[in-house]
């Protein structure tokens, strides 16, 4: 009985595999069965799944109830070591907005501490390409920056409220 299940399963897999390896008309290579799926649709699905699906009542308890309640500072870095060369890495720090200009300084100091740690432990060269600071969450800033630069990668969102 087990061999019959194996044979049926193997025939099913071979049949499915045959359908993906048939060459099209006047083509030398097989037809891509998934050519209707473009990179744009994959990014749209990715952004849909990365959105927080928490109700607004839970968001207000966590302190992220409005975009004006948080500030975000960001540095876009190039990181190099003997083994790695990472380009366009975004390092974010998010701070609660208390209405003073020192909030931006606190967030930027948190990024500076993390950069020192990266340089001491992992990378030989840490080069700052761009510095950005604005009102709102770091997630919204990342989405905005990512739409401008497709090669941007997020390193981390640091909580600058922790001292």
Instruction: Convert the pLDDT of each residue in 103-143 to its tens digit.
Output: 899 999 999 999 999 999 999 999 999 999 999 999 999 99
Would you say residue 52 lies in a domain?
no
pTM for this entry = 0.58
4 and 84 in a single domain? The answer is: no
Range of the domain at 142: 66-159
Q: What CA–CA distance (Å, rounded) separates 89 from 96? A: 23
The whole-number average pLDDT for the span 131-157 is 92
Give the chain's radius of gyration (CA, Å): 24
The tally of domains found in the chain comes to 2
pLDDT band at residue 101 using 50, 70 and 90 as cut-offs? confident
97 and 146 in a single domain? The answer is: yes
Would you say residue 51 lies in a domain?
no
User: Structure tokens of 109?
Assistant: 């100091």
70 and 149 in a single domain? The answer is: yes
pLDDT in tens, 37-53: 555 655 665 555 555 44
102 and 150 in a single domain? The answer is: yes
Least confident of 21-25, 58-62, 97-101: 58-62
87 and 149 in a single domain? The answer is: yes
**CA dist 67 to 26, 74, 77, 100, 136, Å?**
55, 16, 25, 16, 4
Q: Which of 113, 112, 91, 95 is nearest to 104 (CA)?
A: 95
């Amino acid at each position: 009985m087990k061999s019959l299940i194996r044979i049926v399963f193997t025939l099913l897999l071979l049949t499915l595999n045959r359908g993906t390896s048939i060459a099209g008309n006047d083509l030398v290579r097989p037809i891509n069965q998934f050519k209707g799926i473009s990179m744009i649709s994959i990014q749209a699905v990715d952004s849909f799944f990365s959105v927080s699906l928490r109700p607004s009542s839970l968001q207000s308890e966590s302190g992220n109830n409005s975009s004006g309640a948080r500030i975000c500072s960001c540095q876009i870095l190039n990181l190099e070591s003997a083994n790695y060369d990472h380009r366009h890495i975004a390092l974010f720090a998010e701070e609660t907005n208390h209405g003073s200009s020192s909030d931006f300084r606190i967030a930027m100091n948190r990024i500076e501490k993390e950069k020192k740690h990266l340089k001491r432990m992992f990378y030989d060269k840490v080069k700052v390409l761009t510095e950005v600071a604005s009102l709102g969450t770091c997630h919204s800033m990342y989405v905005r920056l990512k739409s401008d630069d497709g090669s941007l990668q997020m390193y981390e969102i640091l909580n600058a409220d922790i001292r």
